[in-house]
Amino acid sequence: MLDTLRQRDFGLLWLAGLISIAGDMALLIALPLHVYRLTGSALSVATSLAMTFAPGVAIGSVAGVFVDRWDRKRTMIVADAARAVVLLPVLVAPDRVGLLYAVAAVQGTIGLFFGPAEDALLPKLVGEERLVTANALNALNNNLGFLIGPAVGAVLYAETGLAGVALADAASYLGSAALIRLIAADAQPGRDGEAPGVGSPWARMVADWRAGLAVVGRQTALRVLFGAQFLGNLGEGVFITLGLGPLVLDVLGGTPAQVGLLATAQAVGGLVAGLMVARIGARLAKRWLIGGGMIGLGLADLSMFNARSVVGPGTPAVGAAMGCMVVAGFPAVASGAGRQALIQTETDDAYRGRVFGTLRAVSGAALLIGIGVGGALGDAVGIVPVLSVGAAVRMAGGVAALVWLPEKRSDGER
């Protein structure tokens, strides 16, 4: 694990990601809170969050076309710089809700270029044999950012308002860009097996986009993975809607402060899991990391949803739920690391940006559907039944991965 982190280029990318994610999480905490204070509307808060996810559904797979054309290091640097610039209007007019929606949408759109470029570049930085370890370390990175960012964002928002948080997030993007600029590896996308484009720029873009979709369509491992991910994100959308505030307050009998503790418990579990998966994950087959991880996450969620019936309401139920959230960090990190590594090994470098971009589109669509289902049925059917169905759907995705992901690759992995 430490050998992977000591590799200079990966270490630079890892540190850049930590700085950037911490800044993102600071803004993610402050922006909805600020919108709610301005409008008093939960719908407005939901809109601000949806504006971040919606671009991925609309153009995620198309963004991957350009990730596979452009130097990936330069793509990430420009994306970071652009996201820093986009935040500047918030410094001038932090109370204009329409502007805040626009900023969230543009930030989400630019991120569609950064994320696939990072995912596609990773194999060149660490080599195929270290991909599970590297992706687990990135998951550790995400959870560190989840712990640091919200705390910093809450303090900054209380002291300086939204403008101060936006300025800090912009600085994090510039710091990330400066570190990525130091990466020495060749970041040009491969061209293996891809015919040169012909026709107008629009025709070439469409042809490249369709070629990326065809890669997913003709490879069994990718088809199964995308289907499993769709089911997993349906369940995740339901959980985002009902699994924190409504569950803690209306089912477990907890307090608003305990909602934050539950989220913190998830991050703590992810930190420990990131270290463990980084150390031992390379010894496990990716199909078991993905499928077993999704099933384990669903079981941990079901235990959390029913904590009140076991230990009673209030603090005991919230404490039990926090324990479940810590445990959930392990299968969550395992499935994520396995998923990323599977795509990176099953996809030629020339197509990785498009495959990762398409995955973001599929995942975003499932997430939005899950959010809609959770919002529509939570009151009508009940919080725990709807959450339980969402967990079952996630587990079904895990079963599909275990049953239908190819059992053996050409390198002999099982």
Grouping H, G, I as helix, E, B as strand and the rest as coil, residue 274 is helix
Quick check: 57 and 364 in contact, CB under 8 A? yes
pLDDT digits (tens, 9 = 90+) for 208-239: 889 999 999 999 999 999 999 999 999 998 88
203: left (phi over 0), alpha (psi -120 to 50) or beta: alpha
136: pLDDT strictly greater than 90: no
pTM of the complete model = 0.84
Nearest to 59 by CA among 265, 360, 344: 360
Say whether 219-408 and 1-132+142-187 share the same fold: yes
Query: Per-residue confidence at 197, pLDDT binned at 50, 70, 90?
Result: low
**pLDDT reported for residue 408:** 52
193: pLDDT strictly greater than 60: no
Query: At the topology level of CATH, where does 1-132+142-187 sit?
Result: Growth Hormone; Chain: A; (1.20.1250)
25: pLDDT strictly greater than 80: yes
**pLDDT reported for residue 403:** 94
pLDDT digits (tens, 9 = 90+) for 262-317: 777 877 888 888 888 888 877 888 999 999 999 999 999 999 999 988 898 889 99
**pLDDT reported for residue 59:** 84
Distance CA 184, CA 190 (A): 17
For the domain bounded by 219-408, which CATH number is listed?
Answer: 1.20.1250.20
The CA-to-CA distance between both ends of the chain, in Å, stands at 22
- Report CA-CA distances (Å) from 236 to 98, 233, 252: 28, 5, 20
Question: What is the chain's mean pLDDT, rounded?
Answer: 86
Domain coordinates in residue numbering, the chain: 1-132+142-187, 219-408
Distance CA 277, CA 122 (A): 17
**pLDDT reported for residue 4:** 77
pLDDT digits (tens, 9 = 90+) for 368-404: 888 888 878 887 888 899 999 999 999 999 999 999 9
Quick check: 124 and 134 in contact, CB under 8 A? no
409: pLDDT strictly greater than 50: no
Quick check: 31 and 97 in contact, CB under 8 A? no
Token pair 């930030």 is found at 107
CB-side exposure of 97: number of CA atoms within 13 Å? 17
